[in-house]
Amino acid sequence: MSRDWNLDGRVVVNWKTCEWRPYPALDGGETGLMWRPVRATPGPGDGTYLLKVAPGGRAKLHVHGGREEFVVLEGELVDGDGEVLAEGDVVSYEPGTRHRTTCPRGCTLMVWIESPIAAVEGDDEIEAMRAGRRIVNWKTADYERYPSLPETADPIDWRNVRANPETGEGLSLISFPPGAGSALHEHTGWEEFVVLKGTLTDPDGATYETGDVVSLPPGSIHASRSETGCVTAVVIEKPLRTLA
């Protein structure tokens, strides 16, 4: 049987075992930050990466040119309005968010940032930040049937965070019951996810463990299956196309 999948260019990094590097300075006076790039882009602060903040670390006031989205993998982060973003929280900010964060106890984040960050002077824009911030905790969220699957596919659950239900585009949580698999599909943009619980196996036999961050470039074709059941947080950059 000929191969009907394409996973060329895939990158897998596990946040529990990866090596951390100093985070490139934004010249905003940020402290205590280490990172592990997964898909680094040239703009400051831009791309997909893991971020580890030491206890007492902080990001001073900065503005985002595009969306900022992250999962709190461990620890907690305090946003500019005092909101505590706790372990398990999946957070999405609208483009243009201007805020600062502190991290009294330390934390590790999986981060997707779609445009460069710039350090700025002045005050937080608290009301705008609150209005443009969504928070869903993957451990306590309600899930429903994934809405855009072909009728022949196994049932898979999801929780929309900031996604288009027709195309899958955006940020969502996806929960595979044990033994369920997705239909074969092609990504027209990047798909990048973190396995929060359980394992997930791709058609080349690669099994992603809990803690793995997986980056699949545009043109990737696959159908994933979970023997154990799993939960992932995923950003799908552009619409996906079901092939079967």
Q: Which residues of this chain interact with Fe ion, rule CB under 5 A?
A: 68, 191
Give yes or no for a contact between 142 and 160, defined as CB atoms under 8 angstroms apart. no
- Nearest-approach distance from CB 187 to Fe ion, in angstroms: 6
How far is residue 32's CA from residue 56's CA, in Å, rounded to a whole number? Answer: 7
Nearer to Fe ion, 191 or 237 (CB): 191
Nearest distance in Å: CB 93, Fe ion: 7
Q: State which residue, 89 or 191, has the beta carbon closest to Fe ion.
A: 191
Contact 80, 99 (CB under 8 A): yes
Phi and psi based region of residue 179 (left: phi greater than 0; alpha: psi -120 to 50; beta: remaining): left
CB of 77 to Fe ion, least distance (A): 10
SS3 167: coil
CB closer to Fe ion, 16 vs 27? 27
d(CA 74, CA 207): 23
Nearest approach, Cβ of 62 to Fe ion (angstroms)? 6
Q: Which is nearer to Fe ion, 68 or 169 (CB)?
A: 68
